[in-house]
Amino acid sequence: MSAVLLAVVCASAWAGPLRRTTKATHGADAKVLMGQLGHKHAWVRELAAQGLATTPASEPAVVALQACLDNSDERGFVRAACAGTLGRWGVADAIPAMATALTEVDPESRYWVASALHVLHHPDAQAIVEDLRADGDLLLAAAAREWSR
């Protein structure tokens, strides 16, 4: 298969889920976005989790995002996107799952989970962020110090 044909095949395979998720995000269609949280490709699940932040918080969406955040088999960047939306929605019940995710995900995802904790402005979340000021990840520690001001 030529490189051009391969590029066309790949682009068309990605276009459908990308278009569907983008359209749902712009239309604040939580039902479609929640369905996309189960997509086979992690990047689609990440976009769906981020897109849900454009919709009003609902019990089914919170449950779906918390399940994503609790799933230790899920990719770190997807869990971080789920945490980010829960943080923007102010879902304090997600704090324990965010704290657990901090110990299980890659360094970049840890930063975004910590950012979600910061956005909550909840005393329990702020305590976790304050503890991160002494973290071994210097970027995360610096961000935590800035957020704790």
Domain count, the chain: 1
Nearest CA among 73, 74, 146 for reference residue 115: 146
Position 4 confidence tier, pLDDT thresholds 50, 70, 90: very low
Here the CATH number for the domain that contains residue 82 is 1.25.10.10
Average pLDDT over residues 104-129: 97
pLDDT recorded at residue 8: 44
Average pLDDT over residues 83-111: 98
Nearest CA among 118, 123, 133, 77 for reference residue 101: 77
Give the Cα separation of 113 and 94 in Å (integer).
Answer: 11
Range of the domain at 66: 2-147
Joined tokens for residue 141: 């520690």
Q: What is the average pLDDT value for the chain, to the nearest integer? A: 90
Mean pLDDT is lowest, of 10-14, 46-50, 55-59, 127-131, for 10-14
- 60-84 pLDDT tens trace: 999 999 999 999 999 999 999 999 9
Tokens 């609790």, residue located = 70
Chain length of the chain: 149
Q: What letter represents residue 25's amino acid?
A: T
